[in-house]
Amino acid sequence: GAVVSQHPSWVICKSGTSVKIECRSLDFQATTMFWYRQFPKQSLMLMATSNEGSKATYEQGVEKDKFLINHASLTLSTLTVTSAHPEDSSFYICSASGAVREKLFFGSGTQLSVL
């Protein structure tokens, strides 16, 4: 089946630094990718939707300047957490769907810890 690869699996960074998370669709063209975050013992919360070649659409309450999303190709989307702070520590998950697929596949997630 289709595979979505997310990298890195975990990252520890100092407060004030920026962190980039990559999400790749390995065997299909992902016209749309989604970014979620998940706090411990909570459900996934959709942050933004990105379509290849266009600006991402952010959910209410998500700072677009804080969480930069780029979807430059049909197989790659990136999420950059800019000037990360401890409250940004969370589990970030991407998902991808293609134009001809009904299924939505998820990456393995990235655990971000900001010190």
Partner 1 sequence: DAKTTQPPSMDCAEGRAANLPCNHSTISGNEYVYWYRQIHSQGPQYIIHGLKNNETNEMASLIITEDRKSSTLILPHATLRDTAVYYCIVRVGRSSTNAGKSTFGDGTTLTVKP
d(CA 95, CA 115): 27
Name the DSSP letter for residue 42.
S
- 103 touching partner 1, by CB under 8 A: yes
d(CA 57, CA 55): 7
Q: What are phi and psi of 22, to 5 degrees?
A: -105, 145
Stretch that binds partner 1, among 13-21, 63-71, 74-82, 104-112 (CB under 8 A): 104-112
Cis upstream peptide for 8 (omega within 30°): yes
- C-beta of 82: minimal distance to partner 1 in Å? 23
- 46 touching partner 1, by CB under 8 A: yes
- 67 touching partner 1, by CB under 8 A: no
Residue of 13, 17, 29, 32 that binds partner 1 (CB under 8 A): 32
- 106 touching partner 1, by CB under 8 A: yes
Name the DSSP letter for residue 59.
P
Name the DSSP letter for residue 58.
E
Nearer to partner 1, 9 or 15 (CB): 9
List contacts with partner 1 (CB under 8 A). 1, 4, 6, 32, 34, 36, 43-46, 49, 91, 93, 95-97, 99-109, 111
